[in-house]
A and B are shown apart, each in its own frame.
Chain A
Amino acid sequence: MNRPLSAIAGGVTGIAVMSLLLLFLEVETRSNLAIFESVARFAGMPGNVTFGFILFVLAGVFAWPLAFMALERYIPGGPDPATRGMVLAVALWVVFVLTGRGGLSGGLLAIYVIFTLLAHLCYGFLLGAVYGRLTSEGPLEPERYDPSDVSQ
């Protein structure tokens, strides 16, 4: 598959899983985190959850995957695109936490920080993994495991 489409496919997978994870987190925390409010704040639409979420999904499906495709070789963590995707996702997460956290503090902020990081890592991993899988020419000869190697 060509590279832009592969990247978008990765973005679709990633954002679908991430949205579901965030939704579960929202319900499990009995809406104390108001996750989708922070998504809206992150998207620059404070108070407008629906539009904010749509923008968030569009960015996750198109903007970031395409940027990932263009930037891939400069992102540390290669050659595995999934690792690079996670590195990119951590950068996205930093901005997400800074701009989306709203008035959270104390224990709620801790839960928010930890679990949004995990959700972002899932997004980055899936983005990179799907992209890598769709664009690869086939497996290179992988490394063999040597039990006598004690350096590991």
Chain B
Amino acid sequence: MFTEIPGLLVVTWALLGLAIYAGYRQNWQLRSVAADGGYLSGLGFESEKPTGLFRWLTTVDHKDIGVLYIVFATGAALWGGTDAMMIRTELFTAGTDVWSPDTYNALFTAHGFTMLFFFATPAFTGLANYFIPILVGADDMAFPRINAIAFWLLPPSLLLVRGGLVTEVLGKMLATVGVRWELLFSLKPPTTGWTLYTPHSALLANPQVDLVLLGLHLSGLATVMAAINIIVTIFTERGEQITWANLDIFSWTLLTTSGIILFAFPVLGSSLLMLVADRNFGTTFFAVEGGGPILWQHLFWFFGHPEVYILVLPAFGLVSLILPKFAGRKLFGFKFIVYSTLAIGVLSFGVWAHHMFATGMDPRLRASFMAVSLAIAIPSAVKTFNWMATLWGGNVRWAAPQIFCVGGIMTFIVGGVTGVFLASIPVDLVLHDTYYVVGHFHFIVMGVITFAAFAASYYWFPLLTGRMFNRRLGRIHGYLSIVGVFVTFMPLILIGYGGLPRRFASYPAAFEPLQQISSFGAVIIGVGVVIWLTNLVQSYRLGPIVTDADVWNLRESGQFSREWQWFETQLEERTKFRR
């Protein structure tokens, strides 16, 4: 019945009626101005920077670039999250009844690219940009202009990777004014999976695949530039009082991460270009009669597995940094956390073939990769136990950042232990390419990695904006996220034990209940994200102004660290104008 009545008319008439009534009540007086109070940022202070859009387009200030990175990463995360919700919608029922199989393949491909290359990496690079110079006592990053270039390469690379959608949006916009430009509709979303395995990726006719390869190459260049900048800054720009002995844990992990990037990303870059050549110029790097498809897997995972640690080490750094602040104790075993970080950095290059146990490689080689893969659990466990020991006997305060840190440790333990099982060859041969793998790594990427990013977003929000967020909503978001991650990804582990292979739009009906629980969990995570976004946006506009730099009561436990001391001097300068 409702579909018969034009909703627009109903709403317009209803609103018109109400508006007339309201105008009548207000005696038709149109006030020209309304006092609606405090919609300015807490950062109302004088600055020599240009204002408005021009400031953001031309900036070489590490803090501004850091903010740009964070905003970009948030946008990418929301986009990748939309893909995720669409994936979970398809999997809600056993049949292929929501999207076509092709669309489903495109969704998990785009989800992987977007989240790994355009959300997680930029989010942590942004935090590094903002805080490392402050933490090491530098004026700015070592190469401010390269820093700006590194950021500005990211939007075009995202555009290349997801270009088909953008051109189609343009095409549809032109079509509404009567111009139909077929070229704009020729790029279909790629269906390669984020691993881009050959020969499939080499043979797909879709030209968008070439754009994806170039886009990923560009994002790799940006990442390498940022990494070099971080390394040089930490080595050469440290203040006089900062030595290797008292360098903070966040800088240590970012230093290690940047080292890994320096060795891993060039390999990705060269293999991508080789694949571009295979696709377009008739080379045979990955053709069966040439280097063979397995060569691609070796090259890809030589990058791909260190990439996992590129994503997770900054998250570990943030947990190590934030957790003690809300436990009222110093980080337990600081040195060993640093050593374990460095150990992970080195070992991360010796485990790549555990992604290829099922390819029929030499069993002796397989065994050595299994040994190293099991060994890398040791430094990871060192961190976990040190975090627990930090909490032990501490005065734990359950503020939003702490909920995310502890929740991140919980999810990391599940994600990590399931990973230890996968490292064992006989188990891997059974579980390879099942939902178990998907569950395992999502406990880490959605668990500890995203949780650490959320923890940092709350922990540093007062410093970034000069305002405080709604702490109750922050806590609700924290608990929702922990529940959401377990409800979403635990069923995937069970589905994997049931033997269901991943990356199919349809599946046997027996798995339907577990898949539905998982989709329900995804909605919980989504609700949390909406709460987070609303809270931070509204708090940025309206939140209570911070006047005392010690927002987290860190002085009483002697942890009023460098970035907060810097914030205190900033606040003092600003209040000079106010008073």
Q: A residues near B, CB below 8 A? A: 2-4, 20, 23-30, 32, 41-45, 50, 53, 55-56, 59, 63-64, 66-67, 70-71, 73-74, 79-83, 91-92, 95-96, 98-102, 106-108, 110-111, 114-115, 118, 125, 129, 132-133, 135-137, 139-148, 152
How many Å from the CB of A110 to the closest CB on chain B? 6
By the criterion CB–CB under 8 Å, are B30 and A2 in contact? yes
Q: Is the interface of A mostly helix, strand, loop or mixed?
A: helix
By the criterion CB–CB under 8 Å, are B471 and A152 in contact? yes
How many Å from the CB of A11 to the closest CB on chain B? 12
Chain B residues with Cβ under 8 A from A96's Cβ?
7
Chain B residues with Cβ under 8 A from A3's Cβ?
30-34
Chain B residues with Cβ under 8 A from A53's Cβ?
176
By the criterion CB–CB under 8 Å, are B541 and A115 in contact? no
**In whole angstroms, how far apart are the Cα atoms of A147 and B16 in the complex?**
46
By the criterion CB–CB under 8 Å, are B93 and A107 in contact? yes
**In whole angstroms, how far apart are the Cα atoms of A50 and B175 in the complex?**
10
* Sample of 10 A–B contacts (CB below 8 Å): A41-B6, A44-B5, A64-B11, A70-B23, A99-B2, A106-B98, A111-B98, A129-B541, A142-B542, A145-B468
Q: Count the A-B residue pairs with Cβ separation under 8 angstroms: how many? A: 189
Chain A residues with Cβ under 8 A from B92's Cβ?
107, 110
By the criterion CB–CB under 8 Å, are A30 and B103 in contact? yes
Chain B residues with Cβ under 8 A from A27's Cβ?
165, 168-169, 172
By the criterion CB–CB under 8 Å, are B550 and A147 in contact? yes
By the criterion CB–CB under 8 Å, are A55 and B8 in contact? yes
- 13 further A-B pairs in the complex, CB-CB below 8 A; given A71-B15, A136-B37: A23-B169, A30-B100, A32-B99, A42-B7, A50-B176, A59-B8, A63-B16, A70-B22, A74-B22, A81-B36, A100-B7, A114-B85, A132-B36
By the criterion CB–CB under 8 Å, are A67 and B93 in contact? no
**In whole angstroms, how far apart are the Cα atoms of A107 and B83 in the complex?**
14
CB of B365 within 8 Å of the partner chain: no
Known: A27-B169, A50-B176, A152-B471. Contact between A142 and B544, CB under 8 A?
yes
Known: A24-B165, A98-B7. Contact between A106 and B2, CB under 8 A?
no
**In whole angstroms, how far apart are the Cα atoms of A148 and B34 in the complex?**
34
Chain A residues with Cβ under 8 A from B12's Cβ?
59, 63-64
Chain B 60-79 per-residue mask, 1 if CB under 8 angstroms from chain A, else 0: 00000000000000000000
How many Å from the CB of B325 to the closest CB on chain A? 13
State which of A2, A81, A132, A145 has its C-beta within 8 Å of the C-beta of B547: A145
Chain A residues with Cβ under 8 A from B37's Cβ?
79, 136, 139-140, 142
By the criterion CB–CB under 8 Å, are A32 and B36 in contact? no
By the criterion CB–CB under 8 Å, are B544 and A145 in contact? yes
Q: Please give me the residue from chain A that is nearest to B2 by CB atom.
A: A98
State which of A98, A114, A137, A145 has its C-beta within 8 Å of the C-beta of B35: A137
By the criterion CB–CB under 8 Å, are B6 and A147 in contact? no
By the criterion CB–CB under 8 Å, are B551 and A101 in contact? no
**In whole angstroms, how far apart are the Cα atoms of A108 and B98 in the complex?**
6
Chain B residues with Cβ under 8 A from A24's Cβ?
165, 169
Chain A residues with Cβ under 8 A from B514's Cβ?
none
Chain A residues with Cβ under 8 A from B86's Cβ?
28-29, 111
CB of B416 within 8 Å of the partner chain: no
Known: A53-B176, A67-B18, A81-B36. Contact between A42 and B8, CB under 8 A?
yes
Known: A56-B8, A111-B89. Contact between A67 and B168, CB under 8 A?
no
Chain B residues with Cβ under 8 A from A42's Cβ?
6-8
8 Å CB interface, B26-47 against A: 26, 30-40, 42, 44
By the criterion CB–CB under 8 Å, are A67 and B16 in contact? yes
Chain B 174-191 per-residue mask, 1 if CB under 8 angstroms from chain A, else 0: 001000000000000000
CB of B478 within 8 Å of the partner chain: no
